[in-house]
A = this chain, B = another copy of it.
Amino acid sequence: MEFSQVVRSRRMIRNYDPDRPVPDEVLARVLGNAVRAPSAGFSQGWDFVVLRSAEERQAFWDATTDPASPPDNWLRGIQNAPCLIVCCSDPGAYLDRYAEPDKGWTDRDTARWPVPYWDVDTGMAALLMLLTAVDEELAGLFFGVPAERVDQVREALGIPADRNLVGVVSLGYPAPDRKSPSLRRGRREVSKVAHAGRFGTPLELA
């Protein structure tokens, strides 16, 4: 698909056909594009835990949801996803990389980092998964793990304590879903977010 059409077509899909798994070759392309995300110092401090069997996925949902409260429509739709990819970032990989001689930040001080590029870069990898899903005519969603559930997910999936859980990409073939009510907020158009030369000066393009 043309790049511009992929970008225009992408939106978060919150319901999936539970009976159509993600083919291996599609998953390979999704992950193959994810590892082409850029990363600071080519650190590539990311890991992706792929959950495909019913048992694997249930372990994730058990760790993130309360069995006492029945799933709402949102959750029922997402739980139909035949594939979940838990995207983890590895701050230590960046601290190690930047302690090497060509960078020389041997103190491994996170205060040197204006923003946590481990999380930013892993987010870029997740975006490439979502875009590849569109290119493959699949549907995807990126969602976060509630902070108070992160430890339970790490334990359920054997994720080391030094990894951040940046979010989860759910993948599958789309089923009818309700658009997010957040979309009613409207998109902030370029004229609202772009500044010319100085913050607050509108950018005017021919």
Contacts and interface: CB of A to CB of B under 8 A. Distances in A.
Interface of A: 1-4, 6-8, 10, 12, 24-25, 27-29, 31-38, 40-42, 44, 46-53, 55-56, 88-89, 97, 102, 111-117, 119-124, 127-128, 130-132, 135, 142, 144-147, 150, 157-160, 164-167, 180-183, 185, 187-190, 193-200, 203, 205-206
Contacts of A165: 114-115
12 contacts: A3-B6, A3-B132, A7-B36, A12-B38, A25-B205, A31-B194, A50-B194, A50-B196, A52-B197, A97-B185, A117-B144, A159-B199
A123 B56 CA distance: 30
Top 9 A-B pairs ranked by shortest CB distance? A120-B123, A42-B182, A56-B197, A24-B206, A158-B199, A115-B119, A24-B205, A3-B6, A124-B127
Contacts of A33: 4, 7
Nearest to A141: B38
B6 A195 contact: no
Contacts of A197: 49-53, 55-56, 157
Contact of A42 (B6, B121, B185, B190): B185
A120 B131 CA distance: 16
Nearest to A185: B42
A36 B130 CA distance: 12
Nearest to A111: B147
A135 B55 CA distance: 41
B199 A160 contact: yes
